[in-house]
Structure 1
Amino acid sequence: RERAERLRAEVLDKGALIDRDAVWELKRQALEQVVRVPLGPGRRAAYDAFRAEEGQALEDHATWYALAEEHGPDWRTWPEPLRDPRSAETARARARLADRVEFHTRLAWLTDGQLRAAQRAAEEAGMPIGIVHDLAVGVHPVGADAWSQQDHFAAGMSVGAPPDAFNARGQDWGLPPWRPDRLAESGHLPYRLLLRALFRYAGALRIDHVMGLFRLWWVPEGSPPTDGTYVRYDAEAMLALLALEASRAGALVIGEDLGTVEPGVRETLQRRGVLGTSVLWFERDWTGDGRPLPPESWREDCLATATTHDLPPTAARLTGEHVDLREKLGLLVKSGADERADAVADTAEWLALLGSLGLLDAPAAGPPGSDEEAEIQGFHRFLLRTPARLVGIWLPDGIGDRRPQNVPGTWDQYPNWRLPVSDPQGRPVPLEELTASPRLGALLAAVRAGLGHSGP
């Protein structure tokens, strides 16, 4: 407990980054105690049923964790026989490490139960969709999936994105791509099992980089993203399986169709009932005068948001701090001065449109960001004017956080996913303060009013 309080103080009092390894070590110690508690007859039966249902995939998952504890997390550096999940040496190691395999199997079962409980609680609270889960574009190159399913992944390759307006150097995400030939040979079994597992807990599923169902940008290991090339997948088969599993679960599907999107992809997804993603800053009349798209011209079959986890928070857009960060990281294409001028013009155009629609309570007399709280509310009022089926709120926008949670194209240059949600001054905000935040409450009230609701 003392160590936990010290970690909490380091983040809340000193603004330190989240030390996820230290947090996991504390959780592991607590979970060791939990797993020692004997299971009663009912829970034992439920646990045995879970193990039987998950079968080999669960055994492989737990075995990788047990071996990683002994040999390190990169299975490519393990003793040669252990790199093969089906070798006799791996079977002997699994038996020798039976207690650790059991520990990680129990953790998977506990996680399964908690995810099911979270969705039930959401539904019982009156949420029509409940929990929206996320399907990432790939897996860790040295993790359990890459070890146990290595025949399905392309060795020496990484998933990324070609150069575009957002990142002129392209992107390398460090994730191994699935081999389309091996997927086809197995009837897309890993993909089917993955979908089935996710929909078990989901009222909706967001698919990261949904264009990857059609083609993925493969980057050879050690090469820059500009040396990559597109590799195609059987989109019809993958979309059919997606539609089947979503229908069985009665769940929505949201595709993140941002960036370089091949012609016809959005239309194909729409026909399959997959919603797209529309981010305010990208919605312009690109075939005409390039001005911000008025709300009535937005597409209907989408999730509309002001920003995402991969983009700057809205407060940073308003103040121009996102340009400062990208300049510091060496991600700008033009000079800092030119980028700042473009950013100011971009934001001013959007605020002018909001003002013309009467969506700003009292338009600020100064530059963008002069009254950022009112302006952020105005952006969300705008989203509610669109015909989009869903509107999303990025939690840091509710308290004026400036720093993005993730900067695509960076690895150790930026502390991705280690930043605590913070206020405009960079002070971390604990959950207790977050739920009581007047600023967040005002934003939610503005959204409720835009929906015609007055209650919580």
Structure 2
Amino acid sequence: MIDTQIQQLCEIHGIESNYTDAWGSPATVVPESKAKLLAAMGYAVSDAKKLAEQIKEKLASQWQTPLPAVVISRDQHALAFEISVAQTDVSALLKWNLRLEDGAEHHGTVTPIEGHKVAETELDGQRYQRYALSIQVDMPLGYHRLILANAIDETVAEASVIIAPRACYTPKLVNEGAKLWGPSVQLYCLRSTRNWGVGDFTDLEFLIEQISAKGGDFVGLNPIHALYPSNPESVSPYSPSSRRWLNIVYIDVTAVTEFEKSKDAQALVDSDAFKHRLELLRDAQWVDYTGVMEAKLEALDLVFATFKEQELRRNTKRARAFRAFVKEGGESLLEQAAFDALQREFCSQGINAWGWPAWPEEYQDFANESVAKFIKKEKSKIDFFSYLQFIADEQLQSANKVADESGMTLGIYRDLAVGVSEGSTELWANKSLYLQGASVGAPPDILGPLGQNWGLPPIEPDTAKQQAYQPFIDLFRSNMRHCGALRIDHVMALLRLWWIPAGETADKGAYIYYPIDDLLAILALESVRNQCLIIGEDLGTVPDGIFETLQENGVYSYRVFFFERSKEDGGFYAPQHYPVQAMATLTTHDMPTLKGFWQCDDLLLGKELGLYRDEDVLKTLYADRHESKQRILDSLHGMGMIPDHISKDVNWVAMSKELNFGMQLHLAGGSSALLALQLEDWIEMDKPVNVPGTSSEYPNWRRKLSRNLEEIFADNDIASLLTELTAIRHSAHGVGL
């Protein structure tokens, strides 16, 4: 009995029982995992009677609510929707009113039975029927409201209406066949003679200027989402506190307008002791996040004091700009600023306040009265963190302006992480949206043989839909700010996510499906409105048909050279055969550098960290790597991308600058519209920035570049590489179209 009920609920909630793994083999979800996920949703999976009542309540809610919370359409001339009514009301006349985003209204009448009956059921002796209806009306793209009323003008139902374009935005030049290139960077990795031990927005401006001058059309960034200023060792850009706000560690303190007016801040930064601190932070091999954040907050406290005294108190133009920013940020900015202020408060009291679960109980929810009292009493502390977001936004905007003025086609492209961490602002402020009894990850695959648990509580699809997808709308919109492209990490999350029950290993998870058509429609609308090209990182376990769906919706694929191999003979596909609607890259932040790959440094490191189940797995990986390297040599020689004096036998070929640059130029001649390369490979680094499946075992997200930006762009060999990259990309214009 319970097994049948559990399967019924799995179908209702999109929990998959079977799937195809990364190696193309059929796999089955462990039954206990499905039960545990349903239990985390609040279902009494061990009590058949109570579970039956819960299922009945769920079905009743679906049938007794006339309209869904949101209706989404790609048709601007007719609105199709479904309505559920009691059988006794199927002939009742309903008045509809469509209120458009711009304030205009359209009216009409409809009768449910005029439509097509799509389903019916019986609940407690009452028969319900669902009809598919369509009203003919011209609607602009945007967010509207549909209201249904009865004959005496009583509102019967309401729904948000989203009218979306057919596909995401693509710039005219790209549509015409232009082949663009640019570097993909981890912003914190950047070294310079002037930063404070972590790359910042001024470094980004310098990088944009240099790349633009060499013919590049974009600079790609790691996620720059808000982390934890008072818990600076929580450093993963893919485990943020909020995906809507920015990481303030990237602020260049000396570039803040008020720094120039703050004698106290200048005196601090000019002191010998502070200069020595900065020198140590710059020279450190790994990013010292605690040291950097402490230094920046110490200076920014003084800068903010000047802002309060000289701007806010006098209600200057700049003060009004700040207040407008706070107003536009609304509740979301207040949540972020309050979270950061409270965390700083608790840490100053000696509490290990890593996230809201470690805070005093009365502060563990944004909606609590104690939080409201703190916000009112400590307004200046809230304003401080709002001000830091204001500054970060201002500096990111400035960097993007440099890209625009330099003529870059895309400029900055940002990266959207899959989720937020369990101690995050987003959970603290909207707990009903997230399932806290599970985390997101990946089943075993090539990158992670043991599977991966990312520690990110998943968004519940049903809850998001009941909120008319507003969390996704806000998320997409905020991440398209001040950029020309957005890369969506693990774009499969729009279709399905691997949920792992709390306390289980990564291989004991299950796929839960999301409303991909709805989410792609919203993504397309925000993309077109913000003129932002969308790149979907579609690696890993990808089900059949998803590539075509993403392409039809204007989402650019993500093609990693090392994975583009024939299943028949193991050879590497020529880059000229890659999809045009794609970004090609040699490697990623989750993979070794070119030098590390060739030297098998990642396999040796994986063995040291215990990432492989047994020695046989490691032997297989080494054998595959040897074969891969030989196939790469075959491709490079076949295309004439490396000189003849480099042996055609991999046993005699070590990584060299000629081989390294040859691989980059080989990919540059391909058909994909976008090409992203890594600064690490330009300067021939060997250490990876991240090792999937690890946390404290390896210093992930801390490794800096081995050379300063100034040195990199003064290097004649690199300058020659970039010149040749540009020439090859220009010659590839139109290839594959």
Which band: TM-score by shorter chain?
Answer: over 0.9
- Answer yes or no: is 1:58 the counterpart of 2:339: no
**Cα deviation code 1:364-423 (max 9, x no counterpart):** 23747535211122112221222101001111011011111111111111111011112x
Secondary structure of residue in 2 paired with 1:202? coil
Name the CA distance, whole Å, in 2 between partners of 1:439 and 1:370.
19
| Alpha-carbon contact 1:157-1:176 (below 8 Å) kept | yes
Q: Distance in 2 between matches of 1:46 and 1:340?
A: 58
| Higher strand proportion (structure 1 or 2) | 2
Which of 401, 412, 419 is the aligned partner of 2:696?
412
* Contact 1:133–1:204 (Cα < 8 Å) also in 2: yes
Using a 3 Å threshold, how does the CA distance of structure 1 residues 382 and 77 change in structure 2: closer, same or farther? same
| 1:10-89 aligned within 5 A | 10=280, 16-37=285-306, 38-39=310-311, 41-71=316-346, 72-89=353-370
* Pair 173,4 (structure 1): closer, same or farther in 2 beyond 3 Å: farther
User: How big is the shift at 1:325?
Assistant: 1.4
Matched with 1:278 is: 559
Paired residues in the alignment total 445
Shift of 1:324: 1.2
Q: Identify which range, 264-273 or 149-158, moves more after superposition.
A: 149-158
Q: How far does the alpha carbon of each residue in 1:118-146 deviate from its partner, in whole angstroms, 9 at most, with x for none? A: 11111101111010011101112212122
| Aligned equivalents of 1:363, 1:234: Cα separation in 2 | 54
The alignment status of 1:294 with 2:569, answered yes or no, reads no
Please say which of residues 373-382 and 230-239 is displaced more in the overlay: 373-382
Matched, 1:403 2:687: yes
Counterpart CA distance in 2 for 1:385 and 1:210 is 26
**AA paired with 1:328?**
E
Aligned with residue 633 of structure 2, among 343, 346, 351: 351
Q: Which residue of 2 aligns with 1:435?
A: 713
Pairwise CA distance, 1:247? 0.2
Distance 1:332 1:294 in 2: 31
Q: Distance in 1 between matches of 2:468 and 2:286?
A: 43
Pick the aligned partner of 2:507 from 226, 233, 237: 226
Q: Secondary structure, in 3 states, of the residue corresponding to 2:677?
A: coil
Is 2:487 aligned against 1:206?
A: yes
- The percent of aligned pairs where both chains have the same amino acid is 35
Q: CA deviation at 1:5?
A: 4.7
Amino acid in structure 1 at the alignment position of 2:634: A
State the one-letter code of the partner of 1:18.
V
1:426 is matched with none
Please list the CA deviations of residues 215-242 of structure 1 after superposition, one character each: whole Å capped at 9, or x if unmatched: 1001122210011111111111111110
**One-letter identity of the residue aligned with 2:374:** A
Relative CO higher for 1 or 2, CA cutoff 8 Å, sep ≥ 6?
Answer: 2
Q: Describe the SS at the equivalent of 2:411.
A: coil
Q: Using the alignment, how far apart are the partners of 1:326 and 1:9 within structure 2?
A: 33
CA contact (8 A) 1:398 1:439 kept: no
Query: What's 1:132 paired with?
Result: 413
Counterpart among 240, 243, 251 of residue 521 in structure 2: 240
Shift of 1:214: 0.6
CA distance in 1, matches of 2:371, 2:594: 50
Summarize deviations over 1:54-88 as a string: whole Å, max 9, x none. 11111111001111112223211222221121121
Letter of the structure 2 residue corresponding to residue 379 of structure 1: M
Relative to structure 1, is the Cα distance of residues 404 and 92 closer, same or farther in structure 2, using a 3 angstrom cutoff? same
Could you tell me the TM-score, scaled by structure 2's length?
A: 0.58
Does the alignment pair 1:252 with 2:550?
A: no
Alignment partners' CA distance in 1, 2:539 and 2:506: 18
Gaps in structure 2 of 5+ consecutive residues = 1-268, 347-352, 732-737
Q: 2:460: which partner in 1? A: 179
User: Residue 284 of structure 1 contacts residue 291 of structure 1 at CA under 8 Å; is this kept in 2?
Assistant: yes
Distance 2:446 2:702 in 1: 27
How much has 1:297 moved relative to structure 2? Answer: 2.2
Aligned AA (2:416): L
Is 1:370 matched up with 2:654?
A: yes
**Alpha carbons of 1:92 and 1:371: their partners in 2 closer, same or farther (altered >3 Å)?**
closer
Q: CA deviation at 1:243?
A: 0.4
Offset, 1:435: 2.7
Which structure has the larger Rg?
2
1:27 and 1:368 map into 2 onto residues whose CA distance is 50
**Secondary structure of the residue that 2:549 maps to in structure 1?**
helix
CA displacement 1:35-62 (0-9 Å, x = unmatched): 1222262111211111111111111110
- Contact residue 162 and residue 225 of structure 1 kept, 8 A: yes
Give 1:445 deviation, angstroms: 2.7
| Residues 251-297 of structure 1 deviation map (CA, whole Å, 9 limit, x = unaligned) | 100000011111111111100000010000000112x2221112332
Q: Distance in 2 between matches of 1:335 and 1:234?
A: 37
Change (3 A) 1:5 1:306: farther
Q: Is the 8 A contact 1:199 1:251 kept in 2?
A: yes
The aligned runs of 1:434-453 (5 Å cut-off) are: 434-452=712-730
d(CA) in 2 for partners of 1:242, 1:364: 47
The normalised TM-score by structure 1 is 0.93
> Which letter does structure 2 place at the counterpart of 1:353?
S
Q: CA contact under 8 A between 1:219 and 1:228: conserved in structure 2? A: yes
Partner secondary structure for residue 216 of structure 1: strand
- SS for the counterpart of 1:67 is helix
Is the 1:75–1:147 Cα contact (8 Å) retained in structure 2? Answer: yes
d(CA) in 1 for partners of 2:697, 2:405 = 43
Partners in 2 of 1:229 and 1:369 — Cα distance?
Answer: 43
Find the aligned partners of 1:419 and 1:190 in 2 and give their Cα distance.
33
SS in 1 for 2:493: helix
Change over 3 Å in CA distance of 1:11–1:95 after alignment to 2: closer
Q: 1:379 aligns with which of 647, 663, 673?
A: 663
Question: Deviation per CA, 1:158-198, whole angstroms, max 9, x where unpaired?
Answer: 11000112222100011111111110010111111111111
Higher share in helix? 1
Q: Does residue 1:154 correspond to 2:435, yes or no? A: yes
Deviation for aligned residue 1:438 = 3.7
* Secondary structure class of the residue paired with 1:201: coil
**1:24 Cα offset (Å):** 0.6
Superposed CA RMSD: 1.9
